[in-house]
Structure 1
Amino acid sequence: MKLKKFAFLLALSAIWSLQSCDNNDDESLNVPVELQNALSSKYPNVTNVKWESKAGYYVADFYDQYEISAWFTQDGIWKMTETDIPLSALPQEIQYSFENSEYYLTWKVDDVDKLERDGFEIIYVIEVEKQNQEVDLHYSANGTLIKSIVDTDNDEDEYLPVQLTEAIKNFIYKNYSNALIMEVDIENDRNDKYYGYTEVDIIHNRIHKEILFDSNENWYSTSWEVHKNELPEAVRNVIEKQYKEYNLDDAEYIEKANDTKYYRIDLELGETDLTVNIDSDGNVIP
């Protein structure tokens, strides 16, 4: 009986040790000199630093007006800094955009983060919640809502940047000069038709655009939102004549690698939603 009890305790100890390796905030964490030098180089005035390991990275937690976490690779390369800021510290453009969003009056702000990441523009994330729902709102510094993501987990490394290949970066900078790269996502749902595709969010000529690349890094499509008054007259005429009983909910312009170009129009009538694709000449296409 004692032998069984000892074996059980030994197994528990092994499990605890494995879990500790994934997320170690022990004060005895052995931090290489290269990492400490990298932190001092980027943040020369910080003190009282607490190191921990998360998802294979070394994370330096410290306080400098706000709570800050700086993420480094094991060889001392900085990848991300996450700063926990109050809502009032957001740029005015973001505050204005959020206050005019559907989330402002009925959702509660749970957290606000400023994200600085290697190779990307600064992103601000407002985490809102309502009952059992949580949504992360990603904004650019000029107040553009880049995306809203339903938060279904609490992955601590969810904001780490996905590194773009040279082929994708070259395509973006060649075709969208002076573009600002904001976000990168790779579809990992095997049931999704775009599994393995890479989506890159950019700001180009002050317009938020989504660029999609297939699993072989070939350009697949680019899309961006357009306002009703920006739609070609031929497109507006089709909507007003053929779908006059519907309300226009959303519209975006899409161009694909197969040279297809059209406007995707989202319409609604009560509880009924309808999506229609119309080219610039007013032709409804499948």
Structure 2
Amino acid sequence: MKRNTFIGWTLAVAATLGLWSCSEQDNSGPDPESVSAAVQEAFEARYPGAANVTWSLRGEYAVASFTPAAATYAPAWGGGSNAWFENRNGAWNMTETDIDFASLPAAVQEGFKASKYGDGALWSLTGDVDRLERRDVMLPTAEGSAVVVYVIEVRSAVSGGAVTTVELYFSPEGILVGEVADAEDDDYEGQLPQQPAAGISEWLQSHIVEKGGRVLEIDAEAGGTEVEAVLEGRKLELWFDKAQAWVYTRTDYYRKDLTGAIPADIYAALKSSEHYTTDEAIDEIEKVETNAANGSRTWWKFELETRWDEVDVYVDQSGLLAGRPELDPGQGGSEPSPDEVAAFIAQQYPGARIVGRDYDDGLLEVEILHENILKELLFNGRREWLRTEWELPASQLPAAVTAGIAAGGYTLDDDEADFVQSPSQSCYEVEVRKDYTEYKLRIDPQGTILEAVRD
């Protein structure tokens, strides 16, 4: 889910807004004439008895920071709130409220504990938990009905002693619907709801809402529109092209589905892969369904944890697939990616085409086809580029690299290697042997061994 940098400003003016009747309000903020009467009336109607109210103007929005009255929210939450209103007409759009973990719905607590973040081994709670309400763009009402998600922040120590944080988005049913690593604290400005185009709205109404599902987020980008939804207890990611035509749906599945919801022939084909070891090594499962322009195909992607790294295995009714299936996102464009990421790729890898995108531990993974090479780029929640990597035959390693491997007493143990670029350095990663022991080496283009990790 996308969050943008918060650039807000507050004019500290101690004034009493005459149109307000609540005596507990602080009323500091912009000039009273800057916050429209429509906003003031809408705020008081939605949050009667709110205390400690201050205002800021952020573009076309008036944003109230306040303490909700006990009658509005459960007193146990006890945190502050930020509510966003369109200043021109007073329409409510979004409210974020600080809560504690114990105040989360039981289903959300259970969903978190059942996720890979909840076992306490690699990740720990930071204490930041929010309840995020956004205007329901599919079921609009005069008072502004809401779609609710809960955001839980966790942190983990990673290699080199660095620390990363991940914001986890859960639906009220406890479904993990989003992960954002190292996001900026922007009061969720990037989560403001977007109204879908008419054709997309009609499709979502008949395929999601009327089937009992909910649309959680709509993100219109230059090449089309991405939609996140929940249906029948599963997270869906949908893509519509610039002509508002549905292109594909990605649906999340889980290990428990291997002997039920996932067809037996698909599961059997997965187990025939050379990369499959046990069900426990399956990290993520995704079903992809496409439109007629893409052959009305259905395939499955299984992310497997292997000895060294993660491997994606693709399966359809015909069995194992040689690689990721081609997917035309419509209108001759690329698969969706945030505009700033797409701009970075266009600058750094001219002529590249985005062919895949995913999230892993809150990091955005983007696959591109550049100079006929499939490359994977990694970005954090601030859209900062972390690294790019791609495979190459070991026979193409530079002479200095092979000489450095030999000088260290190692011999190659695989006919493939990885090249990794990052803002700080570039290096090769190779699997080697030494004295009957397996290692993974990181070695720079000049043949200097940077790190040797024993298997």
Normalised to the residue count of structure 1, the TM-score between the two structures is 0.82
Deviations 1:92-123 (A, max 9, x none): 11111212333231323241111111115211
Residue identity in the other structure for 2:135: D
1:154-233 superposed matches below 5 A = 154-156=185-187, 157-176=189-208, 177=210, 178-186=212-220, 196-226=223-253, 227-229=257-259, 230-233=261-264
Please tell me whether residue 63 in structure 1 is matched to residue 77 in structure 2: no
Which residue in 1 is equivalent to 2:448?
none
User: Given residue 236 of structure 2, which amino acid in structure 1 is its aligned partner?
Assistant: K
**1:7 corresponds to which residue?**
none
Q: Distance in 2 between matches of 1:81 and 1:110?
A: 19
How far has the Cα of 1:46 moved from its partner?
2.0
**In structure 2, C-alpha distance between the alignment counterparts of 1:279 and 1:224, rounded to whole Å:** 15
Q: Tell me which amino acid in the other structure corresponds to 2:80.
A: E
Letter in 1 for 2:176: L
Where do 1:85-124 residues align within 5 Å?
85-104=99-118, 105=120, 106-119=123-136, 121-124=147-150
Mean CA deviation greater in 244-253 or 255-264: 244-253
* Cα offsets for 1:64-101 (capped at 9, x unmatched): 24311111111211111111111111001111121233
Aligned to 2:10: 24
Alpha-carbon shift at residue 159 of structure 1 (Å): 2.5
The equivalent residue for 1:4 is: none
Q: 1:129 to 1:245 in 2, by over 3 A?
A: closer
Partner of 1:5: none
Q: Cα distance, 1:244 vs. partner?
A: 6.3
Superposition pairs of residues 223-262 of structure 1, within 5 angstroms = 223-226=250-253, 227-229=257-259, 230-243=261-274, 245-246=276-277, 247-257=281-291, 258=294, 259-262=296-299
Q: 2: CA distance between counterparts of 1:25 and 1:111?
A: 28
Same amino acid, percent of matched pairs: 29
* Counterpart position of 1:45: 49
Higher share in helix: 1
Per the alignment, residue 280 of structure 1 pairs with: 317
1:130-180: CA deviation from partner (whole Å, max 9, x where unpaired)? 353121100000100001111342333133223222221111112232320
Quick one: structure 1 residues 196 and 132, their matched pair in 2 at CA, closer, same or farther if it must change by over 3 Å? farther
Q: One-letter code of the match for 1:213? A: F
Q: Are 1:250 and 1:265, in contact at CA under 8 Å, matched by a contact in 2? A: yes
One-letter code aligned to 1:124: Y
Aligned length: 259
Alpha-carbon deviation of 1:277?
2.0
Q: Does structure 1 retain, via aligned residues, the 8 Å contact 2:100–2:127? A: no
- Alpha-carbon RMSD across the aligned residues, in angstroms, is 2.3
Is the CA contact 1:180–1:204 (under 8 Å) kept in the aligned structure 2? yes
Higher mean displacement: 248-257 or 48-57: 48-57
CA 1:113–1:41 in structure 2 vs 1: closer, same or farther (change >3 Å)?
Answer: same
Which residue number corresponds to residue 54 of structure 1? 58
8 Å CA contact 1:62, 1:69 repeated in 2: yes
Q: 1:212 to 1:202 in 2, by over 3 A?
A: same
- Residue 153 of structure 2 corresponds to which residue in structure 1? 127
Please state whether the residue corresponding to 2:39 is helix, strand or coil. Answer: helix
The CA distance in 2 between the partners of 1:147 and 1:22, in whole Å, is 25
1:36-77 alpha-carbon deviations (Å, 9 max, x no partner) = 111111122224421122343111121124311111111211
- CA 1:146/1:77 → structure 2, altered by over 3 Å: closer, same or farther? same
Amino acid at match of 1:97: G
> Whole-Å Cα distance in 2 between the matches of residues 200 and 93 of structure 1?
23
Deviates more, 1:113-122 or 1:210-219: 210-219
Task: Tell me whether 244-253 or 108-117 shows the greater mean CA deviation.
Answer: 244-253
1:221 and 1:175 map into 2 onto residues whose CA distance is 13
**Equivalent residues of 1:24, 1:54 under 8 A apart:** no
Residue 260 (structure 1) shift: 1.1
Contact 1:234 1:281 in 2 (8 A): no
Partner Cα distance (1:272, 1:161) in 2: 37
Distance 2:319 2:107 in 1: 36
Structure 1: 5+ residue stretches without partners: 1-20, 188-194
User: 2:270, 2:313 within 8 Å by CA — same for their partners in 1?
Assistant: no
**Is contact 2:94–2:132 with CA below 8 Å preserved after alignment?**
yes
Residue identity in the other structure for 1:167: G
Q: Which has the larger radius of gyration?
A: 2
Pair 1:140–1:166, CA change in 2 (3 A): same
